[in-house]
Amino acid sequence: MTPPPAPHHHQILIVGGGTAGITVAARLRRAGVRDIALLEPSETHWYQPLWTLVGGGQAPLRASLRTEAEVIPPGVRWLRERASAVDPVARTVTTTSGRVFSYGRLVLAPGLQLDWDGIPGLAPALGHGGVSSNYRPDLAPYTWEAIRRMRRGTALFTMPSGPVKCGGAPQKIAYLAADHWRKRGVLGAIRIILVLPEPAMFKVPVFDRALTETARRYGIEVRLSSEMTSLDGAAREAVVTDHTTGAAETLRYDLLHAVPPQRAPQWLAESPLADPASPHGYVAADRTTLQHPDFPEVFALGDAAHLPTSKTGAAIRKQAPVLVANLLDGLRGRPAAAHYDGYTSCPLVTARHKMLLAEFDYDLRPAPSIPFLDTTRERTDMWFLKRYGLPQLYFKGMLKGLA
């Protein structure tokens, strides 16, 4: 009997070629690491934070797109495959094609899965009948089309329970739509309902107050501690359940922007690396060092890591240098010395050219990074930062290992 081929070995194997994986790879290359392989099946790389502005009619979809080949750092071996299993005892990752790769250090950055079937009726309703979601690039332009065409009726904006990427996005599109309708003079003819699963609009009090005032200004009905639990696309009806009382209400909509439930990739959730404390299967990671508590040669960051902070690109920007420093310390036989404090940032667009920047840490304390500017208030310069500054910082800074 012929023995199976030996695994292909790499000193560092990175799973995921999105924001987190590319940023870590670029920083490792700048630190002089030579043997890096990156496992990523997609040939397209998206700057996802721009999709809200695409859905709000403020940016073209093409501005968020690069090829994966453009962003892979020079010297990093690109493995165009999809992971299907990980064995941290054997230190191997298996792909859907059956190939096996072994590693000295493993960085898990595969992102998360959008569970479109997690809300009964959502998947078949998407893309027609006024139902859209900015969480898919092909649907973001349809969001704008539906907003632009609407003159009267009910607009419903929903967010699921559980961690989601860019937790402010479900609200931002509601405000952009409302501001557009206000400018067109039809806001008074449109009932806007915003359904949020948390007991407050934002966990940090100063931003909660600002967003509460924004919703009041537009006349938005906010349903807290609630979520959409099913919908009938043909009838244009959605069921919204109040988790405090258990009451379910059927709402008829003319426009629905829905955000799907989200979870870790199944192969990761079923692995020994998943955190037992995470009902969604995210990877266990020390909240400061980003190392796995049981397998110190494994690191995790970004959306796939079970960390008590928001899943944003800004969080990754602070996590990546910490992870790289600690990984390099491990290669040199030193204990991990770098610490991540939970910093994250949510650019909250509240009008066509207005934005406030919510920056905070693990303790939900504001953590402003721009001197002399009060980013807790709506500002025009912050909107220009989001539309033009942050994409440049992303493509020319983060993905190059420079920011």
Give the tens place of pLDDT for each residue, 260-296: 999 999 999 999 999 999 999 999 999 999 999 999 9
Question: Above 60 in pLDDT, residue 3?
Answer: no
The pLDDT of residue 371: 83
Question: Above 70 in pLDDT, residue 1?
Answer: no
Which among 122, 166, 273, 382 is annotated as catalytic?
Answer: 166
CA 275/CA 209 separation, integer angstroms: 34
Task: Find the mean pLDDT for residues 21-48.
Answer: 97
Contact 327, 308 (CB under 8 A): no
Question: Above 80 in pLDDT, residue 396?
Answer: yes
DSSP state of 311: B
The pLDDT of residue 190: 98
- What Cα–Cα distance (Å) separates residue 303 from each residue in 177, 300, 364, 384? 27, 9, 19, 26
Question: Above 80 in pLDDT, residue 70?
Answer: yes
| Domains defined for the chain, CATH in brackets | 8-112+264-343 (3.50.50.60), 116-262 (3.50.50.60)
What sections of 259-331 are H helices per DSSP?
266-269, 313-331
Burial of 98 (0-12, 13-18, 19+ CB in 10 A): exposed
Which among 314, 325, 346, 358 is annotated as catalytic?
Answer: 346
Model confidence, pTM: 0.95
Average pLDDT score, the chain = 96
Task: Find the mean pLDDT for residues 165-194.
Answer: 97
Task: Find the mean pLDDT for residues 216-226.
Answer: 98
- Residue 29's SS3 state is helix
Contact 201, 215 (CB under 8 A): yes
346 counts as catalytic? yes
The pLDDT of residue 4: 58
Question: Above 80 in pLDDT, residue 390?
Answer: yes
CA 173/CA 257 separation, integer angstroms: 8
Task: Find the mean pLDDT for residues 339-354.
Answer: 95
Give DSSP secondary structure letters for 195-237: E-SSSSS-SSHHHHHHHHHHHHHHTPEEETTEEEEEEETTTTE
| 350-374 residue pLDDT tens | 999 999 999 999 999 999 988 888 8
166 counts as catalytic? yes
Question: Above 90 in pLDDT, residue 194?
Answer: yes
Percent of the chain at pLDDT > 70 equals 99
| 105-163 residue pLDDT tens | 999 999 999 999 999 999 999 999 999 999 999 999 999 999 999 999 999 999 999 99
The pLDDT of residue 7: 80
- Residue 352's SS3 state is coil
Question: Above 70 in pLDDT, residue 395?
Answer: yes
The pLDDT of residue 372: 82
CA 136/CA 39 separation, integer angstroms: 22
